[in-house]
Amino acid sequence: MDVVAFWHVVLTHIDALETRLFSEVLILPNLIQIPAVILTGAIAWLICTPIRRWVIAWLQPSPGERAGWITHHRAYLIQEVVPLITPAAWVLGLWIATSVARPLGWPHAVATIAANLLLAWLVIRVAVHFVPYPALARLIAIVAWSMAALNILNLLGPTLDFLDSFAITAGGLRISVLTVAKGVISLGVLLWAATLLSDFFERRITQVPEITPRAQVLLGKLIKTTLILLAIIVSLTSVGVDLSTLAIFTGAVGVGIGLGLQRTVSNLFSGIVLLLDKSIKPGDVIQVGGTYGWVSSLGARYVAVETRDGTEFLIPNEDIITHQVLNWSHKSERVRLKLPLRVPHDADLDQVFALTLQAMSRPPRILQTPPPVVLIMAFGETAIELELRFWIEDAHNGVHNVKSQVLYEVWRLFQEQGIRIPYPKRELYMHEARAPEKDYRLGEQKKRSLPR
């Protein structure tokens, strides 16, 4: 569409709107109804102000109140329902006014339109409360009320024709403002529906005990991805887009993935591999580098690891695949811990063995079957190298804390028996160095040999 045709279409619609505005809207029977509509709203506000206060006071918690439906929904009733009392009363007042004016032959078109607009706003306000995302709920409310208002004012058809008149043609595809608007609205609604369905299916899958946690996560991700793809395809086909024309676009997307999205795609496929190879699952206790904690969730791009400090680390799936990962609970919750220990060469090893075994029997988390053991690893230069080995079955509760308990018990028992913990000794010998003697005679000879 060239510029001249564009402005011709705009001016045509403006002239039609101006003609309708002065011939059907801004006329005396309609103008005299505006004060009556405003007066009805003021009366509704005056009547409902004490009613709102009474309802809020009635909803406030009282001493000794038992838990019930009002207790669980008190915040929603006060914040969402109570503000709707005045608009609902206004709609009721307008309906009463139109019911009285219709038999008497009085003008009532503006009052009817105002009542319908308020009723549409009330219905949309209640409906969008079930949308979990505030931004999407606000967008749906604006679009829905705008369409309802245009329909009530008998302007929906002309508006759609006006938007459809601005279009461009690319090959066999005609794209107009109306097409784009329909596509955006349908895509938003379908994505919202796909998200709700995927969340519903994920909750149902997690309730099936026959499916392992790893399979539950994999099925949930596959269902969510499939539903989102279907939503995109349906939204494109609903506005008349031929999917075969997207070959160039998909090729460009492939080039973009190859150039700038390698890490994102790598993390996505690494997540699928993690779910298929059964290496980790939600609830496993793992250690990646210096991060130790249990897997709280498996995402499309990362693995969420929650530590005992209450923090959560988001580790990319690619790092889990390519780096060494220590899984403390891959096959069983039972793990063996090792502690190095050094004792003097002159220590009584029988006594040391008895004391260390006693120290390992005191922490309640240490298993006695299989029993703890003490091994002699080497005779070092300054001490005998020992290693304490014991088993626990709750690695998710931490491993360093139980090691600390064992070391404390060993130190306390060694202190009672007078056994010292050896430490490496270093001896430093200092020698007094003599200052070098200077030969002054050579200097005198040089001075004499210099020419005068």
Distances (CA, A) of 37 to 21, 22, 114: 20, 21, 8
Higher pLDDT, 436 or 213: 213
SS3 content of the chain, % helix, strand, coil (to 5): 60, 15, 25
- Whether 340 contacts 375, CB under 8 Å: no
Count Cβ atoms below 10 Å from residue 317 Cβ, excluding itself.
Answer: 23
The pLDDT confidence band at residue 64, using thresholds 50, 70 and 90, is low
pLDDT at 253: 63
> Higher pLDDT residue, 353 or 26?
353
* Average pLDDT of the segment spanning 363-375: 90
> What integer pLDDT is reported at residue 39 of this predicted model?
84
DSSP strands (E only) in 263-333: 285-288, 291-298, 302-306, 312-316, 325-327
**Which of 94-108, 144-158, 434-448 bottoms out in mean pLDDT, i.e. has the lowest?**
434-448
Q: What is the pLDDT of residue 18?
A: 63
Span 279-307, average pLDDT: 81
Mean pLDDT for 14-25 is 62
Residue 180 has pLDDT above 90, yes or no: no
pLDDT band at 355 (very low <50, low <70, confident <90, very high): very high
Which comes out higher in pLDDT, residue 428 or 5?
428
Per-domain residue ranges for the chain? Answer: 32-61+69-165, 169-260, 282-327, 335-417
Q: Would you say residue 343 has pLDDT above 70?
A: yes
Task: Report H helices in 207-331.
Answer: 213-238, 247-260, 262-277, 317-322
Most confident of the ranges 202-206, 246-250, 267-271: 202-206
Position 382 confidence tier, pLDDT thresholds 50, 70, 90? confident
Please report the pLDDT score of residue 352 as a whole number: 92
Residue 287 to residue 320: CA distance in whole angstroms? 10
- What value does the mean pLDDT take over residues 27-55? 80
For residue 239, pLDDT beyond 50: yes
What angle (nearest 5°) sits at the alpha carbon of residue 31, between those of residues 28 and 36? 130
Is residue 394 helix, strand or coil? coil
313 pLDDT higher than 70? yes
- Does residue 221 surpass a pLDDT of 90? no
Q: What is the pLDDT of residue 409?
A: 92
- Looking at residue 16, what is its pLDDT? 65
* Reported confidence tier of residue 404, pLDDT bands at 50, 70, 90: very high
Rounded CA-CA distance 230/218 in Å is: 18
Percent of the chain with pLDDT over 90: 10
Query: Taking residues 360-370, what's their average pLDDT?
Result: 89
Average pLDDT value for residue range 223-243: 77
Q: What CA–CA distance (Å, rounded) separates 310 from 411?
A: 31
Alpha carbon 351 to its chain centroid, in Å, reads 56
* Segment 352-372 mean pLDDT: 91
Per-residue confidence (pLDDT) for residue 270, from 0 to 100: 79
Cα 108 to Cα 89, 101, 115, 350, distances in angstroms: 18, 6, 11, 106
Q: Is the pLDDT of residue 362 over 60?
A: yes
Q: Residue 293 corresponds to which amino acid?
A: G
Q: Residue 375: is its pLDDT beyond 90?
A: yes
Burial class (CB in 10 A: 0-12, 13-18, 19+), 261: middle
Compute φ and ψ for 120, nearest 5 degrees: -60, -40
Q: Which range, 10-14, 208-212, 349-353, is most confident?
A: 349-353
Indicate whether 441 pLDDT > 60. Answer: no
Q: Which residue has the tokens 């078109």?
A: 109
pLDDT(446) > 50: no
Average pLDDT, integer, range 3-27: 62
Give the per-residue pLDDT at 340. Answer: 92
> Cβ–Cβ contacts within 10 Å for residue 354, how many?
14
Task: Write down the architecture of domain 335-417 according to CATH.
Answer: 2-Layer Sandwich (3.30)
Mean pLDDT score of the chain = 76
Residue 131 identity (one-letter amino acid): V
Residues 117-135: pLDDT tens digits? 888 888 888 877 777 667 7
pLDDT bin (cut points 50, 70, 90) of residue 353 is very high
CATH number of 282-327: 3.40.50.11740, 2.60.120.200, 3.30.70.600, 2.30.30.60? Answer: 2.30.30.60
Query: Which of 294, 305, 283 is closest to 399 using CA atoms?
Result: 294
Q: Give me the pLDDT at residue 85, please.
A: 84
DSSP state of 382: S
Asked if pLDDT for residue 407 goes beyond 90, the answer is yes
